[in-house]
Amino acid sequence: MTVIAMTREIGARGSDVAIGLAERLGLEIVHHELVEHDIAARTGLTEDEVHRHLEGEAFLIERLTLDKRRLSRYTAQEILELATKDNVLIRGWGATYLLRMIPHVVCVRICAPMAYRERTLIERLGLSGPVAAQSEIAHSDAAHNGVMQRFFGVDWQDPTLYAAVLNTARIPIRDCVDLIVRLTESVAFRDTPQSRQVLFDQLVRERVRFALDRRFGPSGLQSGIDAHVLDGRVLLIGATTDEQLIVDAVRCTHGIEGVKAVECQIRHIAFVPHAN
């Protein structure tokens, strides 16, 4: 099972690296249309709306009305579902952040200096010159970093999010592919039952969050209910003034795919009205 998560700067030829990896390792490259279609199905948004949010191009009214917490959870679940498949390369959408702690997932970033990126865009897009290329690059970088900041609170340029950061201005595309292939073959990224369980537990946690969010909505989850998962066993934690919500949360969690057992440590807090 090979899973690679990649972020790439526009103009750094990350697509060429991805294609090379797909050919060498027999990987399916997950394109944005598939991810956006499935997220749209979960959220009730249109695919265009999802695309604008994930690409940082949402209209002002959309940014003001969308529940970013909910969309980030739906995105997380979709990425984790994709990662459970064999032999995939997932580009963008916070995949490198969401999968960074999964032992067998190789997270990489493809980058290059500005001048190199400018030349690539001028050549590939037929742009008029460096100024036009710089505008495209600035827009793309701001959009992608904005999404990572809004949804996950991280800087996509942070090298600690990745197993490897490769500069295509110094390392030829073929050598980038070779280096990443070597990582997938190393002991450090070996696919084991334990590493798959780590991935599956994270997926179950997101499924639980998704189900509780759908069942209770923001009003129920604002009480701080959350879940921890270990070997498919779910621990519900938090506090609420609604006793029935605790019962319903346990029942809801029991019915979620992959859940083996549920322990509830949600505290009931008695509501005491303020005296006039």
Concatenate the DSSP letters of all residues of 24-75 into one string: HHTPEEE-HHHHHHHHHHHHS--HHHHHHHHTT---HHHHHHS-HHHHHHHH
Q: Bigger pLDDT: 63 or 4?
A: 4
pTM exceeding the 0.85 threshold for the entire prediction: no
Q: Could you tell me the domains of the chain?
A: 3-191 (3.40.50.300), 194-268 (3.30.1340.30)
**5 near 106, Cβ under 8 Å?**
yes
**Residue 266 contacts residue 237 (beta carbons within 8 Å):** yes
DSSP state of 222: T
Encode 183-221: b = buried (16+ Cβ within 10 Å), e = exposed: bbeeeebebeeebbebbbbbbbbbbbbbbbbeebeeebb
pLDDT score for 222: 46
pLDDT more than 90, % of the chain: 50
Residue 8: pLDDT above 70? Answer: yes
Higher pLDDT: 128 or 69? It is 128
Residue 74 CA to residue 66 CA, distance in Å, equals 13
- Residue 219 CA to residue 205 CA, distance in Å, equals 20
Is pLDDT at 44 greater than 80 in this prediction?
A: no
